[in-house]
């Protein structure tokens, strides 16, 4: 697709700058968002990619998906604030 072509061109020469803090990318169903998730994983690391099964892009912002990824985010923030992360 045109979007895939454009994204591939953008990340081809992208060099990520060092960052000491936690990074998390949230995606819906891997079947539908697999390409985008793999692209982000190449940039920020596989461990930073989190999937919400059976969620679409729009449903990531409604229940039950929003509670699932907000729980992950809250855990990341707790670790950062407490100095453990």
CA distance 57 to 12: 25
The pLDDT value given to residue 81: 57
H helices then E strands: how many in the chain?
3, 2
- Both tokens assigned to 8: 């591939």
The pLDDT value given to residue 15: 74
The pLDDT value given to residue 58: 81
Beta strands in 9-68 (DSSP E): 25-27, 49-51
CA distance 52 to 59: 10
pLDDT digits (tens, 9 = 90+) for 8-50: 787 777 776 777 777 777 877 766 667 777 887 877 777 777 7
pLDDT digits (tens, 9 = 90+) for 52-65: 777 887 888 889 88
The pLDDT value given to residue 30: 64
């Amino acid at each position: 697709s045109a979007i895939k072509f454009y994204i591939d061109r953008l990340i081809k020469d992208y060099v990520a700058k060092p960052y000491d803090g936690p990074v998390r990318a949230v995606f819906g169903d891997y079947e539908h968002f697999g390409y985008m998730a793999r692209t982000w994983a190449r940039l920020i690391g596989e461990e930073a990619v989190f999937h919400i099964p059976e969620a679409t892009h729009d449903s990531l912002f409604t229940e039950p998906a929003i509670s699932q990824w907000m729980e992950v985010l809250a855990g990341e923030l707790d670790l950062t604030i407490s100095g453990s992360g």
